[in-house]
Amino acid sequence: MSDTPDDLRYASTHEWARLDDGGVVVGISDYAQDALGDVVYVELPEVGQEVQAGEEIAVVESVKAASDIYAPVGGVVEAINEALDDGPEIVNQDPYGDGWFFQITPDDETQLEELLDAEAYAEQCAAEQH
């Protein structure tokens, strides 16, 4: 069973989001990293880039597939995790910690509430696995 921490919000496209000091930190879920397999490359957005909620903003590539990452909330990209350039395997090792992708300063924090909570997301994953 994959890990879905209760203090995070999740997009149905398998990104997680955490409000942290006014910024929203985004990564991919444990379920997603497990389904992708070994991550070999991550393409991150530019700092300062403006994004809409649901827009394609990054790409994660594993030996099985390349998948788009969608911005769970709209806003401006404040920071990116450059450590993933040389260490894409961090996404597999620590998807909710050091494996974060980018941080967005949201236009509207309440967008977070439109995302799934841990329970709803875990249900979705269980349904997909079947």
Residues found near another protein in the complex (CB under 8 A): 38, 40-41, 61, 63-65, 67, 88-89, 129
| 111/129 Cα distance (integer angstroms) | 28
Q: How many helices (H) and strands (E) does the chain have?
A: 4, 9
Q: In whole angstroms, how close is the CB of 120 to another protein at the nearest point?
A: 19
Q: In whole angstroms, how close is the CB of 63 to another protein at the nearest point?
A: 5
Q: In whole angstroms, how close is the CB of 25 to another protein at the nearest point?
A: 25
Q: Which CB atom, from 89 or from 98, has the smaller least distance to another protein?
A: 89
Phi, psi of 13 (to 5 degrees): -90, 15
| 29/112 Cα distance (integer angstroms) | 16
Q: Which CB atom, from 27 or from 88, has the smaller least distance to another protein?
A: 88
Q: Which CB atom, from 38 or from 119, has the smaller least distance to another protein?
A: 38
Give the distance from CA 85 to its chain's centroid.
16
